[in-house]
A and B are shown apart, each in its own frame.
Chain A
């Protein structure tokens, strides 16, 4: 084979001009310079931009959700907790679903197909919530439909196992888990956690492959243990509900306070609401009537007036007060009793609930003395209770009292307070003369609360005896009696205020009492608003509820009965053999 001799190629024989090689070299040099420049731009001048672009593609900030604290009752039973409830959202223009799929989706979400189509019809929006916080099982079924453009976001929802029975105490949160009412609101800061976050690198498949930098750990919300006993709460709610229904009343409230520790054991109102169901979270039913509605305490004030007079030594339990002829002229006003009781002892004034008696006792006191006691007992002051919207009530400064006002205040008119304030003021009588602070949080077991002394122990005990007489023969609150436990309390009935005067046929009935009377454990207040089924007296409408609630509460708390009971069980004597 004959090889070509390149060296002798005539093409190569000609002389190459030097500029050509130089041109090539220069060209290459420029190209390299270009590359160097680009490298410098990428790595030095434009570095931040490229770093950002790179990070955007692989670096992710993951939110670490913090769970909201749970709420327990005094026995550790769950009252509120957060559970996973995914929210369904969509990108309308991405949604590709036929009519059948949409119908299925609408059915799962329990919403009309029209609404769903309307939401998905908003083409110009790139994000739309279809439904927030659905049940996890429903969310799973929706995920199984695999509709393009429909997504889920993991969210948490509050559930309240006790439902409407404890709704007013516990309250509820909004869809973003922020407390709006009740304990959820007042303890929001403690309950709410703080979300954490961390930076990670994710691979093409979305798996976390590396952590970057420091992780900010989430802080879970604190759990809260309330003083509420869910069993007592339930009974109280049930009893007041039954009473409101039976008496065709507008509303009703019950407050149960532990008179030893100051803990609120139950606080129930009817009508109530189901806090789980967001559709009904508006309107008057949300009001915690026991704390927010104020009214004139009426006869409930008489024992306090008497206690003040006893404490200052102006009367003794046996001092005689002339109440005849059943009416009393004071300036332009006439004060009346329901009957002419003649001459009564101080005890009798309480037992018969004589307005004139209370007025005459108050005439032995100065306005300042009365004001001091009322204020010390919490009237006209905001309750020191961690609760939103607790009413202050009204108690004017004593300097502006006219004699007629001082007289009417002695039997509970001309000042106002909430049912809770009335119940709380009775701690002075139940706790041997000291007012103790009320709390919604569980206190340490068996620790009696320290309080402020208003009356001596003897005065408190004397007034308790008078309260016991009210529930005995000849008293106005006999229906408050229970089986096995001695009780004492005061009934109250008043025409409701309307505008500047009093409404003709609208009444409010209440009962505030203590049990057991010798060694008090609980104070219970019951109020029924506008009973309109024939009877409207505190002694007939509210006292039976008091009786039921006391009976159940003392049983649940394991308090042994302090009165002899006729047993209904027959104990068989059985010879034991070994």
Chain B
């Protein structure tokens, strides 16, 4: 009887210690997940920010201004466009109906 008690006590002690260890490990893992989640959120917001910045660099206003001022470009008109019909043997003359 005494021997059984000692074995059970040892088992109980082991189980208790193991519980503490598992609890500790689980908390460590939760912390890691938290950290990873926070990083994911930061990266997602950064991505949004960068998307906005990229778009701000390519707004019609900016493109128009740069094309006009820096590259001396002008808007396209049908008069300076050659329209090509896909599959046609020869390109249609400028300005004509495809």
Contacts and interface: CB of A to CB of B under 8 A. Distances in A.
A401 interface: no
Contact of B30 (A209, A231, A564): A209
Nearest to B31: A207
B49 A84 contact: yes
A569 B94 contact: yes
Given A78-B55, A552-B75, A565 B49 contact: no
Contacts of A564: 95-96
A78 B51 contact: yes
B27 interface: yes
Nearest to A209: B27
B61 interface: yes
Most chain B beta carbons < 10 A, residue from A77, A159, A238, A561: A561
Nearest to B60: A234
A106 to B, nearest CB: 26
A484 B30 contact: no
B78 A485 contact: yes
Contact of A165 (B31, B55, B60): B60
B2 interface: no
B98 A560 contact: yes
Interface in B50-98: 51-52, 55-56, 59-61, 64, 75-83, 93-98
Given A207-B31, A231-B60, A484-B79, A84 B55 contact: no
A562 B77 CA distance: 13
Nearest to B83: A560
Interface of A: 67, 77-78, 81-84, 136, 159, 161-163, 165, 203, 207-211, 230-231, 233-235, 238, 483-485, 551-552, 555, 560-569, 571
23 contacts: A67-B48, A84-B45, A84-B49, A136-B49, A161-B52, A162-B61, A209-B31, A210-B26, A234-B61, A238-B64, A485-B78, A560-B83, A561-B78, A561-B83, A565-B78, A565-B95, A566-B95, A567-B82, A567-B95, A568-B79, A569-B79, A569-B94, A571-B82
Interface of B: 26-27, 30-31, 34, 45, 48-49, 51-52, 55-56, 59-61, 64, 75-83, 93-98
